[in-house]
Structure 1
Amino acid sequence: MNSRRSLLTVLAAAGLGTALPAALGAGPASAATDLYASNTDLYRKLAGREGIDFARRYRRHAYTDDDQAGAPGSYGRTAVLALHGGGIESGTSELCLGIAGYDPKNLTPHYGTGAPLYDYWMFEGIRSSGNSELHVTSTHCDDRVALALAAGALNVVSVHGCTAAQAGAPASRPEAVLIGGRNTVLRRYLREALSAAGVQTIDAAPGDDIAGVSPDNICNRTLLGMGAQLELTTELRAAMFATNTVKGRAGSVNAEFWRFADAVRAAVARMEADPSQVIL
Protein backbone atom coordinates (compact mmCIF):
# COMPACT_ATOMS: atom_id res chain seq x y z
CA MET A 1 0.00 0.00 0.00
CA ASN A 2 1.32 3.40 -0.96
CA SER A 3 0.40 7.02 -0.41
CA ARG A 4 -0.03 8.92 -3.67
CA ARG A 5 1.46 12.13 -2.32
CA SER A 6 4.48 10.45 -0.75
CA LEU A 7 5.21 8.69 -4.05
CA LEU A 8 5.04 11.95 -5.97
CA THR A 9 7.41 13.54 -3.46
CA VAL A 10 9.92 10.70 -3.79
CA LEU A 11 9.76 10.77 -7.57
CA ALA A 12 10.23 14.52 -7.68
CA ALA A 13 13.17 14.36 -5.29
CA ALA A 14 14.77 11.67 -7.41
CA GLY A 15 14.35 13.77 -10.52
CA LEU A 16 12.08 11.20 -12.18
CA GLY A 17 9.27 12.48 -14.33
CA THR A 18 5.83 11.12 -13.56
CA ALA A 19 4.09 12.36 -16.67
CA LEU A 20 3.20 9.83 -19.33
CA PRO A 21 1.65 10.48 -22.72
CA ALA A 22 -2.08 9.95 -22.29
CA ALA A 23 -3.25 7.18 -24.58
CA LEU A 24 -6.70 7.25 -26.12
CA GLY A 25 -9.14 6.66 -23.31
CA ALA A 26 -6.27 6.61 -20.83
CA GLY A 27 -7.38 8.93 -18.09
CA PRO A 28 -9.97 11.38 -16.85
CA ALA A 29 -10.62 14.93 -17.90
CA SER A 30 -11.52 17.45 -15.23
CA ALA A 31 -14.68 19.40 -14.54
CA ALA A 32 -12.91 22.53 -15.79
CA THR A 33 -12.35 20.97 -19.20
CA ASP A 34 -15.69 19.18 -19.57
CA LEU A 35 -17.77 20.32 -22.54
CA TYR A 36 -20.98 19.39 -20.76
CA ALA A 37 -22.06 20.63 -17.35
CA SER A 38 -23.90 17.42 -16.51
CA ASN A 39 -25.32 14.29 -18.07
CA THR A 40 -28.61 16.11 -18.59
CA ASP A 41 -26.78 18.87 -20.41
CA LEU A 42 -25.06 16.30 -22.63
CA TYR A 43 -28.30 14.45 -23.39
CA ARG A 44 -30.01 17.69 -24.41
CA LYS A 45 -27.18 18.99 -26.57
CA LEU A 46 -26.63 15.59 -28.20
CA ALA A 47 -30.33 14.83 -28.64
CA GLY A 48 -30.78 12.11 -31.23
CA ARG A 49 -27.16 10.96 -30.94
CA GLU A 50 -27.67 8.17 -28.38
CA GLY A 51 -26.56 4.95 -30.01
CA ILE A 52 -24.29 6.94 -32.33
CA ASP A 53 -22.09 9.07 -30.08
CA PHE A 54 -22.88 7.57 -26.71
CA ALA A 55 -24.74 4.73 -25.04
CA ARG A 56 -26.19 3.93 -21.64
CA ARG A 57 -26.48 0.42 -20.25
CA TYR A 58 -27.82 -0.64 -16.88
CA ARG A 59 -29.44 -3.49 -14.99
CA ARG A 60 -31.64 -3.21 -11.92
CA HIS A 61 -32.46 -6.42 -10.11
CA ALA A 62 -35.81 -7.02 -8.43
CA TYR A 63 -36.00 -6.89 -4.65
CA THR A 64 -38.99 -8.18 -2.73
CA ASP A 65 -39.94 -8.62 0.92
CA ASP A 66 -43.29 -10.29 1.51
CA ASP A 67 -42.57 -11.43 5.06
CA GLN A 68 -44.70 -9.47 7.55
CA ALA A 69 -42.73 -10.87 10.48
CA GLY A 70 -39.28 -9.84 9.36
CA ALA A 71 -37.48 -6.54 9.07
CA PRO A 72 -37.49 -4.89 5.64
CA GLY A 73 -34.55 -5.89 3.47
CA SER A 74 -35.66 -4.82 0.03
CA TYR A 75 -32.83 -2.51 -0.93
CA GLY A 76 -29.78 -3.03 -3.04
CA ARG A 77 -26.63 -3.90 -1.20
CA THR A 78 -24.16 -2.82 -3.87
CA ALA A 79 -24.20 -1.13 -7.28
CA VAL A 80 -21.31 -0.89 -9.73
CA LEU A 81 -20.89 2.18 -11.93
CA ALA A 82 -18.73 3.12 -14.91
CA LEU A 83 -19.35 6.78 -15.67
CA HIS A 84 -16.76 7.02 -18.44
CA GLY A 85 -16.98 3.72 -20.29
CA GLY A 86 -16.44 2.79 -23.90
CA GLY A 87 -13.76 4.94 -25.48
CA ILE A 88 -13.63 7.54 -22.71
CA GLU A 89 -11.71 5.58 -20.07
CA SER A 90 -10.90 2.31 -21.77
CA GLY A 91 -11.76 -0.97 -20.09
CA THR A 92 -14.06 0.46 -17.45
CA SER A 93 -17.26 -0.78 -19.13
CA GLU A 94 -15.96 -4.34 -19.13
CA LEU A 95 -14.75 -4.07 -15.53
CA CYS A 96 -18.12 -2.72 -14.44
CA LEU A 97 -19.82 -5.78 -15.93
CA GLY A 98 -17.26 -8.22 -14.56
CA ILE A 99 -17.45 -6.87 -11.01
CA ALA A 100 -21.26 -6.94 -11.23
CA GLY A 101 -20.97 -10.65 -12.05
CA TYR A 102 -21.46 -10.72 -15.80
CA ASP A 103 -19.31 -11.87 -18.70
CA PRO A 104 -18.64 -8.72 -20.74
CA LYS A 105 -18.83 -10.69 -24.00
CA ASN A 106 -22.41 -11.92 -23.72
CA LEU A 107 -23.77 -10.54 -20.42
CA THR A 108 -24.34 -14.03 -19.00
CA PRO A 109 -23.63 -14.61 -15.28
CA HIS A 110 -19.96 -15.48 -14.95
CA TYR A 111 -19.75 -16.82 -11.41
CA GLY A 112 -22.41 -19.53 -11.52
CA THR A 113 -25.60 -20.30 -9.67
CA GLY A 114 -25.96 -18.62 -6.30
CA ALA A 115 -23.21 -16.04 -6.81
CA PRO A 116 -24.39 -12.46 -6.26
CA LEU A 117 -25.24 -10.27 -9.24
CA TYR A 118 -25.06 -6.55 -8.63
CA ASP A 119 -26.95 -3.67 -10.16
CA TYR A 120 -24.86 -1.73 -12.65
CA TRP A 121 -24.98 1.42 -14.76
CA MET A 122 -22.58 2.74 -17.35
CA PHE A 123 -22.24 5.64 -19.73
CA GLU A 124 -20.12 4.84 -22.80
CA GLY A 125 -18.49 6.87 -25.52
CA ILE A 126 -18.97 4.94 -28.76
CA ARG A 127 -17.56 7.34 -31.33
CA SER A 128 -14.72 6.23 -33.59
CA SER A 129 -12.71 9.12 -32.10
CA GLY A 130 -13.16 12.11 -29.83
CA ASN A 131 -14.79 10.20 -26.98
CA SER A 132 -12.97 12.24 -24.34
CA GLU A 133 -15.31 15.12 -25.21
CA LEU A 134 -18.13 13.08 -23.64
CA HIS A 135 -16.55 13.07 -20.18
CA VAL A 136 -18.82 14.37 -17.39
CA THR A 137 -17.10 14.57 -14.02
CA SER A 138 -18.43 12.35 -11.23
CA THR A 139 -19.74 15.19 -9.09
CA HIS A 140 -21.88 16.39 -12.01
CA CYS A 141 -23.44 13.02 -12.88
CA ASP A 142 -27.20 13.52 -12.78
CA ASP A 143 -28.43 10.63 -14.92
CA ARG A 144 -31.72 9.63 -13.29
CA VAL A 145 -31.10 5.87 -13.40
CA ALA A 146 -27.56 6.23 -12.06
CA LEU A 147 -28.77 8.44 -9.20
CA ALA A 148 -31.59 6.02 -8.37
CA LEU A 149 -29.23 3.04 -8.28
CA ALA A 150 -26.78 4.84 -6.01
CA ALA A 151 -29.48 6.23 -3.72
CA GLY A 152 -31.08 2.81 -3.33
CA ALA A 153 -27.86 0.95 -2.49
CA LEU A 154 -25.78 0.65 0.64
CA ASN A 155 -22.57 0.64 -1.37
CA VAL A 156 -21.33 1.89 -4.71
CA VAL A 157 -18.11 0.88 -6.42
CA SER A 158 -17.36 3.38 -9.18
CA VAL A 159 -14.75 2.27 -11.74
CA HIS A 160 -12.58 4.83 -13.54
CA GLY A 161 -9.40 5.09 -15.58
CA CYS A 162 -6.43 7.37 -14.99
CA THR A 163 -2.79 7.65 -15.99
CA ALA A 164 0.06 6.40 -13.83
CA ALA A 165 1.06 10.01 -13.16
CA GLN A 166 -2.42 10.89 -11.96
CA ALA A 167 -2.43 7.90 -9.60
CA GLY A 168 1.07 8.63 -8.33
CA ALA A 169 2.41 5.25 -9.45
CA PRO A 170 6.18 4.96 -9.82
CA ALA A 171 7.56 4.97 -13.36
CA SER A 172 9.14 1.59 -12.71
CA ARG A 173 5.75 0.04 -11.90
CA PRO A 174 2.92 1.96 -13.55
CA GLU A 175 0.27 -0.77 -13.15
CA ALA A 176 -1.73 0.40 -10.14
CA VAL A 177 -5.14 1.28 -8.78
CA LEU A 178 -5.87 4.42 -6.76
CA ILE A 179 -8.52 3.70 -4.12
CA GLY A 180 -10.76 6.56 -3.03
CA GLY A 181 -14.26 7.34 -1.80
CA ARG A 182 -15.75 8.24 1.57
CA ASN A 183 -16.30 4.69 2.87
CA THR A 184 -13.02 4.07 4.69
CA VAL A 185 -13.98 0.52 5.66
CA LEU A 186 -14.77 -0.49 2.09
CA ARG A 187 -11.57 1.21 0.95
CA ARG A 188 -9.59 -0.90 3.40
CA TYR A 189 -11.31 -4.10 2.30
CA LEU A 190 -10.61 -3.24 -1.34
CA ARG A 191 -6.98 -2.43 -0.60
CA GLU A 192 -6.45 -5.70 1.27
CA ALA A 193 -8.21 -7.87 -1.32
CA LEU A 194 -6.50 -6.26 -4.31
CA SER A 195 -3.09 -6.31 -2.65
CA ALA A 196 -3.55 -10.01 -1.88
CA ALA A 197 -4.32 -10.52 -5.58
CA GLY A 198 -0.99 -8.94 -6.50
CA VAL A 199 -2.35 -5.55 -7.59
CA GLN A 200 -0.39 -2.44 -6.60
CA THR A 201 -2.75 -0.24 -4.56
CA ILE A 202 -2.36 3.44 -3.74
CA ASP A 203 -4.46 5.31 -1.20
CA ALA A 204 -5.98 8.53 -2.50
CA ALA A 205 -5.10 11.56 -0.40
CA PRO A 206 -8.16 13.63 0.62
CA GLY A 207 -7.11 16.63 -1.46
CA ASP A 208 -6.43 14.71 -4.66
CA ASP A 209 -8.55 15.65 -7.67
CA ILE A 210 -9.51 12.02 -8.20
CA ALA A 211 -9.88 11.00 -4.55
CA GLY A 212 -13.66 10.59 -4.86
CA VAL A 213 -14.36 12.09 -1.44
CA SER A 214 -16.83 14.84 -2.38
CA PRO A 215 -20.32 14.20 -1.02
CA ASP A 216 -21.56 15.17 -4.49
CA ASN A 217 -19.59 12.37 -6.14
CA ILE A 218 -22.14 9.78 -7.19
CA CYS A 219 -20.12 7.01 -5.53
CA ASN A 220 -20.99 8.65 -2.19
CA ARG A 221 -24.67 9.28 -2.89
CA THR A 222 -25.73 5.98 -1.32
CA LEU A 223 -28.08 5.09 1.52
CA LEU A 224 -25.09 5.44 3.84
CA GLY A 225 -23.70 8.59 2.19
CA MET A 226 -20.41 6.96 1.26
CA GLY A 227 -18.91 4.60 -1.27
CA ALA A 228 -15.69 3.71 -3.08
CA GLN A 229 -13.98 4.87 -6.26
CA LEU A 230 -11.35 2.86 -8.14
CA GLU A 231 -9.01 4.67 -10.56
CA LEU A 232 -7.07 2.12 -12.62
CA THR A 233 -4.00 3.25 -14.51
CA THR A 234 -3.77 2.89 -18.28
CA GLU A 235 -1.15 0.17 -17.95
CA LEU A 236 -3.17 -1.90 -15.48
CA ARG A 237 -6.26 -1.78 -17.68
CA ALA A 238 -4.28 -2.61 -20.83
CA ALA A 239 -2.93 -5.75 -19.14
CA MET A 240 -6.47 -7.12 -18.72
CA PHE A 241 -7.27 -7.60 -22.42
CA ALA A 242 -5.73 -9.61 -25.23
CA THR A 243 -7.21 -7.14 -27.73
CA ASN A 244 -7.30 -3.69 -26.17
CA THR A 245 -9.72 -1.98 -28.56
CA VAL A 246 -13.29 -0.78 -28.17
CA LYS A 247 -14.62 -3.76 -30.14
CA GLY A 248 -12.06 -6.27 -28.95
CA ARG A 249 -12.04 -5.85 -25.19
CA ALA A 250 -15.32 -7.54 -24.27
CA GLY A 251 -14.35 -10.80 -25.96
CA SER A 252 -10.73 -10.88 -24.86
CA VAL A 253 -10.71 -10.46 -21.09
CA ASN A 254 -7.93 -12.50 -19.48
CA ALA A 255 -6.89 -13.93 -16.12
CA GLU A 256 -5.66 -10.53 -14.94
CA PHE A 257 -9.12 -9.09 -15.57
CA TRP A 258 -10.88 -11.77 -13.56
CA ARG A 259 -8.28 -11.65 -10.79
CA PHE A 260 -9.10 -7.97 -10.34
CA ALA A 261 -12.88 -8.54 -10.52
CA ASP A 262 -12.64 -11.45 -8.06
CA ALA A 263 -10.74 -9.29 -5.56
CA VAL A 264 -13.25 -6.43 -5.76
CA ARG A 265 -16.15 -8.84 -5.34
CA ALA A 266 -14.45 -10.40 -2.30
CA ALA A 267 -14.07 -6.95 -0.76
CA VAL A 268 -17.72 -6.16 -1.48
CA ALA A 269 -18.86 -9.45 0.09
CA ARG A 270 -16.83 -8.63 3.19
CA MET A 271 -18.37 -5.15 3.28
CA GLU A 272 -21.89 -6.50 2.95
CA ALA A 273 -21.27 -8.77 5.97
CA ASP A 274 -20.02 -5.81 8.04
CA PRO A 275 -22.25 -4.69 10.97
CA SER A 276 -22.43 -1.20 9.47
CA GLN A 277 -24.57 -2.60 6.63
CA VAL A 278 -27.66 -2.97 8.80
CA ILE A 279 -30.49 -0.55 8.01
CA LEU A 280 -33.04 -0.53 10.84
Structure 2
Amino acid sequence: MTFSDRPASRRTVLTGLAAATVAAPFLGQLAASAPAYAGTENDLYDSNTELYTSTEHPVAEGTDYGRRYRRHEQLDRYLSKPSAPPKTAVMAIHGGQIERGTSELCLAIAGYDPADVEKPLVTQGFHDYWMFEGMRSVDNRELHVSSVNCDDHVARGIAASHLNVLSLHGCQYSQLGMPEKMVWPSVSDPKLVVVGGLNTVFRAALVTELNQAGFPAVDAFAPEYAENLRNYAGGITTNICNRTATGAGAQLEITEDMRRSLFGPQVTDFDWKSGRLATWDNARFRGFTDACRRAIATVEAGQVIL
Protein backbone atom coordinates (compact mmCIF):
# COMPACT_ATOMS: atom_id res chain seq x y z
CA MET A 1 0.00 0.00 0.00
CA THR A 2 1.46 3.36 -1.03
CA PHE A 3 1.25 6.55 0.97
CA SER A 4 -1.41 7.92 -1.34
CA ASP A 5 -3.46 4.72 -1.02
CA ARG A 6 -3.87 4.95 2.75
CA PRO A 7 -7.06 6.38 4.23
CA ALA A 8 -6.38 9.75 5.83
CA SER A 9 -7.55 10.37 9.37
CA ARG A 10 -9.14 13.66 10.31
CA ARG A 11 -6.25 14.14 12.70
CA THR A 12 -3.86 13.86 9.73
CA VAL A 13 -5.72 16.60 7.89
CA LEU A 14 -5.85 18.85 10.95
CA THR A 15 -2.17 18.21 11.62
CA GLY A 16 -1.46 19.31 8.08
CA LEU A 17 -3.34 22.53 8.67
CA ALA A 18 -1.38 23.20 11.84
CA ALA A 19 1.91 22.36 10.17
CA ALA A 20 1.14 24.82 7.40
CA THR A 21 0.77 27.60 9.94
CA VAL A 22 4.00 26.74 11.73
CA ALA A 23 6.17 25.97 8.73
CA ALA A 24 4.97 28.57 6.26
CA PRO A 25 7.43 31.46 5.95
CA PHE A 26 6.17 35.02 6.13
CA LEU A 27 7.58 38.10 4.45
CA GLY A 28 11.11 38.78 5.60
CA GLN A 29 11.95 35.10 6.02
CA LEU A 30 14.21 33.67 3.35
CA ALA A 31 13.80 30.10 2.19
CA ALA A 32 16.55 27.57 2.78
CA SER A 33 18.52 26.65 -0.31
CA ALA A 34 17.15 23.78 -2.38
CA PRO A 35 18.78 21.51 -4.95
CA ALA A 36 18.91 22.67 -8.55
CA TYR A 37 15.81 21.38 -10.31
CA ALA A 38 14.05 22.11 -13.59
CA GLY A 39 15.73 25.45 -14.19
CA THR A 40 16.46 26.47 -10.60
CA GLU A 41 19.98 27.51 -11.51
CA ASN A 42 18.58 30.05 -13.99
CA ASP A 43 16.16 31.68 -11.55
CA LEU A 44 16.76 35.30 -10.58
CA TYR A 45 15.12 34.74 -7.18
CA ASP A 46 15.83 31.85 -4.82
CA SER A 47 12.30 31.90 -3.37
CA ASN A 48 9.00 33.73 -3.50
CA THR A 49 9.98 35.50 -0.31
CA GLU A 50 13.09 36.88 -1.98
CA LEU A 51 11.07 37.94 -5.00
CA TYR A 52 8.54 39.77 -2.81
CA THR A 53 11.19 41.56 -0.73
CA SER A 54 14.23 42.00 -2.99
CA THR A 55 15.86 45.42 -3.04
CA GLU A 56 18.45 44.37 -5.61
CA HIS A 57 15.83 43.30 -8.15
CA PRO A 58 12.63 44.94 -6.87
CA VAL A 59 9.25 44.02 -8.33
CA ALA A 60 5.78 45.36 -7.61
CA GLU A 61 2.68 43.29 -6.99
CA GLY A 62 -0.10 44.37 -9.31
CA THR A 63 2.37 45.60 -11.92
CA ASP A 64 4.99 42.90 -12.38
CA TYR A 65 3.07 40.01 -10.87
CA GLY A 66 -0.22 39.09 -9.22
CA ARG A 67 -1.51 36.38 -6.90
CA ARG A 68 -5.00 34.88 -6.90
CA TYR A 69 -6.48 32.14 -4.79
CA ARG A 70 -9.78 30.69 -3.67
CA ARG A 71 -10.64 28.58 -0.65
CA HIS A 72 -14.18 27.31 -0.46
CA GLU A 73 -16.14 27.54 2.76
CA GLN A 74 -17.00 24.14 4.17
CA LEU A 75 -18.55 23.43 7.55
CA ASP A 76 -18.85 20.27 9.63
CA ARG A 77 -22.20 20.82 11.36
CA TYR A 78 -22.96 17.28 12.40
CA LEU A 79 -22.05 15.21 15.44
CA SER A 80 -23.53 12.08 13.89
CA LYS A 81 -21.42 11.86 10.71
CA PRO A 82 -18.11 13.14 9.34
CA SER A 83 -17.97 15.91 6.77
CA ALA A 84 -14.87 15.59 4.60
CA PRO A 85 -12.83 18.74 3.98
CA PRO A 86 -11.80 19.71 0.44
CA LYS A 87 -9.37 17.11 -0.86
CA THR A 88 -7.75 18.71 -3.91
CA ALA A 89 -6.24 22.08 -4.81
CA VAL A 90 -5.08 23.18 -8.26
CA MET A 91 -2.05 25.45 -8.68
CA ALA A 92 -0.39 27.49 -11.42
CA ILE A 93 2.75 28.78 -9.72
CA HIS A 94 4.15 30.11 -13.02
CA GLY A 95 0.92 31.49 -14.41
CA GLY A 96 0.05 34.53 -16.45
CA GLN A 97 2.77 35.39 -18.96
CA ILE A 98 5.42 33.13 -17.37
CA GLU A 99 4.16 29.73 -18.57
CA ARG A 100 1.26 30.86 -20.68
CA GLY A 101 -2.01 29.02 -20.54
CA THR A 102 -1.50 27.51 -17.10
CA SER A 103 -3.64 30.12 -15.30
CA GLU A 104 -6.57 29.53 -17.62
CA LEU A 105 -6.22 25.76 -17.22
CA CYS A 106 -5.95 26.10 -13.44
CA LEU A 107 -9.19 28.05 -13.18
CA ALA A 108 -11.11 25.73 -15.51
CA ILE A 109 -9.92 22.57 -13.73
CA ALA A 110 -10.95 24.18 -10.44
CA GLY A 111 -14.41 24.70 -11.96
CA TYR A 112 -14.36 28.40 -12.92
CA ASP A 113 -14.51 30.48 -16.08
CA PRO A 114 -10.95 31.60 -16.97
CA ALA A 115 -12.33 34.98 -18.03
CA ASP A 116 -14.51 35.49 -14.94
CA VAL A 117 -13.45 33.86 -11.67
CA GLU A 118 -16.91 34.50 -10.22
CA LYS A 119 -18.59 32.44 -12.94
CA PRO A 120 -18.79 28.66 -12.33
CA LEU A 121 -18.23 26.27 -15.21
CA VAL A 122 -19.62 23.31 -13.29
CA THR A 123 -22.45 22.69 -10.86
CA GLN A 124 -20.43 20.66 -8.37
CA GLY A 125 -16.91 19.44 -7.74
CA PHE A 126 -15.20 22.79 -7.23
CA HIS A 127 -11.57 22.85 -6.11
CA ASP A 128 -9.49 25.38 -4.23
CA TYR A 129 -6.77 27.05 -6.27
CA TRP A 130 -3.68 29.28 -6.01
CA MET A 131 -1.89 31.12 -8.81
CA PHE A 132 1.19 33.30 -9.17
CA GLU A 133 0.98 35.20 -12.45
CA GLY A 134 3.46 37.23 -14.46
CA MET A 135 1.93 40.49 -15.65
CA ARG A 136 4.76 42.10 -17.61
CA SER A 137 4.79 42.68 -21.35
CA VAL A 138 8.35 41.28 -21.50
CA ASP A 139 10.87 39.41 -19.33
CA ASN A 140 8.33 37.40 -17.37
CA ARG A 141 10.83 34.53 -17.15
CA GLU A 142 12.64 36.60 -14.49
CA LEU A 143 9.66 36.00 -12.19
CA HIS A 144 10.05 32.22 -12.30
CA VAL A 145 10.66 30.56 -8.91
CA SER A 146 11.23 26.81 -9.00
CA SER A 147 8.62 24.44 -7.57
CA VAL A 148 10.98 23.30 -4.84
CA ASN A 149 11.58 26.90 -3.77
CA CYS A 150 7.96 28.08 -3.80
CA ASP A 151 7.55 29.34 -0.23
CA ASP A 152 4.57 31.67 -0.56
CA HIS A 153 2.82 31.18 2.79
CA VAL A 154 -0.66 31.00 1.25
CA ALA A 155 0.45 28.49 -1.39
CA ARG A 156 2.12 26.28 1.21
CA GLY A 157 -0.84 26.57 3.55
CA ILE A 158 -3.25 25.49 0.81
CA ALA A 159 -1.02 22.58 -0.18
CA ALA A 160 -0.60 21.34 3.39
CA SER A 161 -4.34 21.41 4.07
CA HIS A 162 -5.28 19.22 1.10
CA LEU A 163 -4.73 15.55 0.36
CA ASN A 164 -3.89 16.35 -3.27
CA VAL A 165 -2.35 19.16 -5.28
CA LEU A 166 -2.35 19.28 -9.07
CA SER A 167 0.36 21.74 -10.13
CA LEU A 168 0.35 22.95 -13.75
CA HIS A 169 3.53 23.90 -15.62
CA GLY A 170 4.62 24.74 -19.14
CA CYS A 171 7.72 23.61 -20.99
CA GLN A 172 9.16 23.25 -24.48
CA TYR A 173 9.20 19.81 -26.08
CA SER A 174 12.89 20.26 -26.92
CA GLN A 175 13.71 20.64 -23.21
CA LEU A 176 12.44 17.19 -22.35
CA GLY A 177 15.17 15.21 -24.08
CA MET A 178 12.76 12.47 -25.07
CA PRO A 179 14.46 9.36 -26.51
CA GLU A 180 15.08 9.74 -30.25
CA LYS A 181 12.97 6.68 -31.00
CA MET A 182 10.11 8.02 -28.88
CA VAL A 183 9.46 11.44 -30.41
CA TRP A 184 5.81 11.92 -29.54
CA PRO A 185 3.57 12.01 -31.43
CA SER A 186 5.81 13.16 -34.29
CA VAL A 187 8.71 15.49 -34.99
CA SER A 188 6.36 18.00 -36.59
CA ASP A 189 3.70 17.87 -33.89
CA PRO A 190 5.34 17.64 -30.44
CA LYS A 191 2.24 17.91 -28.28
CA LEU A 192 2.90 16.10 -25.02
CA VAL A 193 2.04 16.16 -21.32
CA VAL A 194 4.58 14.82 -18.80
CA VAL A 195 2.83 13.66 -15.64
CA GLY A 196 4.89 13.77 -12.45
CA GLY A 197 4.57 14.03 -8.67
CA LEU A 198 4.90 11.45 -5.90
CA ASN A 199 1.27 10.28 -5.86
CA THR A 200 1.41 7.17 -8.06
CA VAL A 201 -2.38 6.75 -8.11
CA PHE A 202 -2.88 10.35 -9.20
CA ARG A 203 -0.23 10.04 -11.91
CA ALA A 204 -1.81 6.89 -13.30
CA ALA A 205 -5.28 8.46 -13.37
CA LEU A 206 -3.99 11.56 -15.19
CA VAL A 207 -2.05 9.56 -17.78
CA THR A 208 -5.07 7.34 -18.42
CA GLU A 209 -7.65 10.12 -18.68
CA LEU A 210 -5.51 12.41 -20.83
CA ASN A 211 -4.56 9.68 -23.27
CA GLN A 212 -8.12 8.41 -23.55
CA ALA A 213 -9.26 11.96 -24.28
CA GLY A 214 -6.72 12.29 -27.11
CA PHE A 215 -3.97 14.23 -25.32
CA PRO A 216 -0.69 12.25 -25.42
CA ALA A 217 0.67 11.92 -21.88
CA VAL A 218 3.51 9.92 -20.32
CA ASP A 219 4.40 9.06 -16.73
CA ALA A 220 7.73 10.72 -15.92
CA PHE A 221 8.61 7.76 -13.70
CA ALA A 222 8.04 5.10 -16.37
CA PRO A 223 11.30 3.17 -16.95
CA GLU A 224 11.54 4.19 -20.61
CA TYR A 225 11.30 7.91 -19.74
CA ALA A 226 12.67 8.23 -16.20
CA GLU A 227 16.26 9.10 -17.13
CA ASN A 228 15.31 11.74 -19.69
CA LEU A 229 12.51 13.27 -17.62
CA ARG A 230 14.10 13.26 -14.15
CA ASN A 231 14.17 17.07 -14.06
CA TYR A 232 10.48 17.23 -14.95
CA ALA A 233 9.21 14.43 -12.72
CA GLY A 234 8.21 16.38 -9.61
CA GLY A 235 9.97 13.74 -7.56
CA ILE A 236 11.43 15.94 -4.82
CA THR A 237 9.50 16.01 -1.56
CA THR A 238 9.84 19.80 -1.27
CA ASN A 239 8.15 20.37 -4.62
CA ILE A 240 4.98 22.37 -3.88
CA CYS A 241 2.85 19.61 -5.43
CA ASN A 242 4.15 17.16 -2.80
CA ARG A 243 3.71 19.45 0.22
CA THR A 244 0.27 17.99 0.85
CA ALA A 245 -1.22 16.42 3.97
CA THR A 246 -0.17 13.04 2.54
CA GLY A 247 3.26 14.13 1.31
CA ALA A 248 2.43 13.41 -2.32
CA GLY A 249 0.75 15.13 -5.25
CA ALA A 250 0.88 15.45 -9.04
CA GLN A 251 2.11 17.91 -11.61
CA LEU A 252 1.71 18.37 -15.35
CA GLU A 253 4.50 19.65 -17.59
CA ILE A 254 2.58 20.69 -20.70
CA THR A 255 4.57 21.47 -23.83
CA GLU A 256 3.93 24.82 -25.48
CA ASP A 257 2.69 23.02 -28.60
CA MET A 258 0.06 21.29 -26.50
CA ARG A 259 -0.93 24.47 -24.68
CA ARG A 260 -1.23 26.44 -27.90
CA SER A 261 -3.46 23.76 -29.36
CA LEU A 262 -5.97 24.25 -26.53
CA PHE A 263 -6.68 27.85 -27.51
CA GLY A 264 -7.50 29.63 -30.76
CA PRO A 265 -6.14 28.73 -34.19
CA GLN A 266 -4.04 31.86 -34.56
CA VAL A 267 -0.58 31.95 -32.96
CA THR A 268 -1.13 35.45 -31.57
CA ASP A 269 -4.28 34.31 -29.77
CA PHE A 270 -2.13 32.36 -27.34
CA ASP A 271 0.64 34.88 -26.77
CA TRP A 272 -1.36 37.34 -24.71
CA LYS A 273 -3.89 37.00 -21.92
CA SER A 274 -6.58 38.78 -23.92
CA GLY A 275 -6.19 36.30 -26.77
CA ARG A 276 -6.33 33.28 -24.48
CA LEU A 277 -9.41 34.56 -22.70
CA ALA A 278 -11.10 35.09 -26.06
CA THR A 279 -10.31 31.61 -27.37
CA TRP A 280 -10.33 29.18 -24.44
CA ASP A 281 -13.99 28.15 -24.76
CA ASN A 282 -13.64 25.38 -27.30
CA ALA A 283 -14.05 21.61 -27.34
CA ARG A 284 -10.33 20.86 -27.13
CA PHE A 285 -9.69 23.07 -24.08
CA ARG A 286 -12.74 21.67 -22.31
CA GLY A 287 -11.72 18.14 -23.23
CA PHE A 288 -8.33 18.62 -21.58
CA THR A 289 -9.71 20.16 -18.40
CA ASP A 290 -12.49 17.58 -18.17
CA ALA A 291 -9.89 14.80 -18.37
CA CYS A 292 -7.99 16.36 -15.47
CA ARG A 293 -11.18 16.70 -13.46
CA ARG A 294 -12.04 13.05 -14.05
CA ALA A 295 -8.59 12.04 -12.82
CA ILE A 296 -9.08 14.13 -9.68
CA ALA A 297 -12.47 12.50 -9.08
CA THR A 298 -10.92 9.05 -9.44
CA VAL A 299 -8.22 9.80 -6.86
CA GLU A 300 -10.63 11.44 -4.42
CA ALA A 301 -13.02 8.49 -4.62
CA GLY A 302 -10.34 6.24 -3.17
CA GLN A 303 -9.41 8.60 -0.33
CA VAL A 304 -11.54 7.94 2.72
CA ILE A 305 -11.48 10.50 5.53
CA LEU A 306 -11.85 8.44 8.72
> How far apart are the structure 2 equivalents of 1:29 and 1:201?
19
Q: TM-score, normalised by structure 2?
A: 0.78
Matched, 1:158 2:145: no
What CA distance in whole angstroms lies between the structure 2 residues aligned with 1:262 and 1:34? 33
Tell me if the contact between 1:29 and 1:132 (Cα under 8 Å) persists in the aligned partners.
no
Alignment of 1:102-251 (within 5 A): 102-107=112-117, 108-111=119-122, 113=123, 115-167=124-176, 168=178, 169-170=183-184, 171-205=187-221, 206=226, 208-242=230-264, 243-244=269-270, 245-251=272-278
How many Å separate the matches in 2 of 1:182 and 1:156?
11
Q: Please tell me whether the aligned partners of residues 38 and 231 of structure 2 are also in contact (alpha carbons under 8 angstroms).
A: no
Runs of 4+ in 1 over 4 A off after TM superposition: none
* Counterpart in the other structure of 2:70: 59
Alpha-carbon distance between aligned partners in 2 of 1:154 and 1:123, rounded to the nearest angstrom: 21
**How big is each residue's C-alpha offset from its partner over 1:23-62, in whole Å with a ceiling of 9 and x where there is no partner?**
xxxxx96111111010011000266610100000111111
Taking the aligned partners of 1:173 and 1:179, their CA distance within structure 2 comes to 19
1:31 and 2:37 matched: no
Long gaps (5+) in structure 1: 1-27
Relative to the length of structure 1, the TM-score reads 0.85
User: Counterpart amino acid of 2:141?
Assistant: S
**Aligned residue type for 1:88:** I
How many residues align? The count is: 248
User: Match of 1:120, as an amino acid?
Assistant: Y
Look up the SS of the partner of 2:274 in the other structure: coil
Matched, 1:271 2:282: no
Could you tell me which amino acid in structure 2 is paired with residue 235 of structure 1? D
Deviates more, 1:224-233 or 1:165-174: 165-174
Q: Which runs of 5+ in 2 are unaligned?
A: 1-36
Q: Residue by residue, what CA displacement relative to the aligned partner does 1:63-116 show, whole Å, maximum 9, x if unpaired?
A: 21011122352x2210000010111101000000010011101121112x3x21
In the alignment, the residues of structure 2 paired with residue 104 and residue 72 of structure 1 have an alpha-carbon distance, to the nearest angstrom, of 29
**In 2: Cα distance, 1:154 partner to 1:104 partner:** 24
1:104–1:251 Cα contact (<8 Å) kept:
no
* 1:17 aligned partner: none
> Partners in 2 of 1:59 and 1:72 — Cα distance?
20
CA distance in 2, matches of 1:36, 1:238: 28
